[in-house]
Homo-oligomer: A and B are copies of this chain.
Amino acid sequence: MKKGATIRDVAAAAGVSVATVSKYMNGTQRFTPAVEARLKEAVEQLGYRSNPLARSMITGRTHTIGLAILDIRNPHFTNIVKGANRVALQHDYTLLLVDTEESQEREKTLIESLAQRVDGMIVSSRMPDESVQWLLDLGKPVVLFGRSARFSISSVGTDSCLAGYMLANHLVKLGHKRIAYLGFGRSRWNDERIRGIRNCLDEHGLPLDIHETESPSAPAGERACSGLMLGPKRPDAVICYNDLIALGFIKEARELGFSLPHDVSVAGFDNVPYGEYASPALTSVDFQSEKMGELAMTKLINELHGKSEEGAGYSMLDPHLVVRESTVRRGVAEPADDASGADARTRKKASPTQT
């Protein structure tokens, strides 16, 4: 643990002033070959690395971006982090990560202290619209996930309503009539998704049965499953608030003795990486989460560099429907597509009676 050399040590070793060293380190200026050589030598000799803290204190920029998310374990957010990090790296920014663990109380404190250490922040939150003003008052540029109705804050999001419509439409086309939605009301996008689904179902005069999970996670999906599948209004298709819930739902449904996807089609949102490896592989709507991270970071960095014009305001990414095996034509006992060897299964237990 050797103490790092300071700018003064270098200046002394090279026989120049500290200002010269500073300029050299920052490439702010050109030098006479002689000086440059001595500088280079001295820096290498001493293994000098300029102290970013001292630098930041003066310049007022830390070259750090704060990223606040709800739960790093949710692959949706993991992807966002990945995308944001990649862009940050390209621009020589580092990422200060804050995982609020879905806790509103912690969030405020954490973000407040985060704001002091970074040049700007990207925030994914369930905070109410009122708090957005507070966020802005922190005095740092912010990019938000999801639009704020009230403030013209820079933000990126996806069309959850359209996504909902897409999924509902897909299911209706497959002949489903008893469609249920397994939602997560605390999310700001839940209502949007419902709206999209309803839009579509209304067009076909179909009802929507709405249920609720206590968290946006797979275990929550598992717990909610029996309530739907063994309840009075057993659906023939269910749309889940996100893929994690859908994954849990599927697992539990099979454990209850249902044969999927034939007893019930299931779909989610987010298109998380492991939906593809589940069985039946999960139908979902891809929100391009990694791109969301990239876009948010790009917008923020542009703002930091004064190019506020470029892509300010609200940016929306297109949702893409990804059809896999978990949604299937209603009433088809065996999969139509014989090539997909993964789908053939015989029902082992009688499915519960439909009340």
Contact = CB atoms under 8 A, between A and B. Distances in A.
Contacts of A273: 73, 218
A98 interface: yes
B99 A117 contact: no
Given A1-B139, A139-B4, A346-B346, A99 B72 contact: no
B78 A257 contact: no
Contacts of A341: 254-259, 347-349
A97 interface: yes
Closest 3 A-B residue pairs measured CB to CB?
Answer: A279-B279, A274-B274, A247-B277
A244 to B, nearest CB: 9
Contacts of A338: 348
Nearest to A139: B1
A52 B64 CA distance: 14
Nearest to A79: B73
Nearest to A81: B72
Given A94-B98, A279-B278, A78 B73 contact: yes
A53 B49 contact: no
Contacts of A345: 344-346
A247 B278 CA distance: 9
A34 interface: no
A112 B139 CA distance: 30
Nearest to A274: B274
Interface string A61-99: 010100000001101001101100110010000111111
A218 B272 CA distance: 13
Given A57-B57, A82-B73, A345-B345, A276 B251 contact: yes
11 contacts: A2-B137, A2-B139, A51-B116, A52-B113, A52-B117, A53-B117, A81-B99, A95-B97, A247-B277, A251-B277, A341-B349
Interface residues of A, number: 69
A56 interface: yes
Contacts of A179: none
A149 interface: no
Interface in A306-355: 338, 340-342, 344-349
A128 to B, nearest CB: 21
A185 interface: no
Nearest to A74: B78
A1 B247 CA distance: 43
A139 to B, nearest CB: 5
Contacts of A75: 73
Interface in A268-300: 273-274, 276-281
Contacts of A168: none
B85 A99 contact: yes
Most chain B CB inside 10 Å of its own CB: which residue of A81, A248, A348: A348
Given A53-B53, A218-B273, 9 more contacts: A51-B57, A53-B62, A64-B117, A72-B85, A82-B99, A95-B96, A341-B347, A341-B349, A345-B345
Nearest to A249: B277
Contacts of A117: 52-53, 64, 94
Interface in A130-145: 137, 139-140
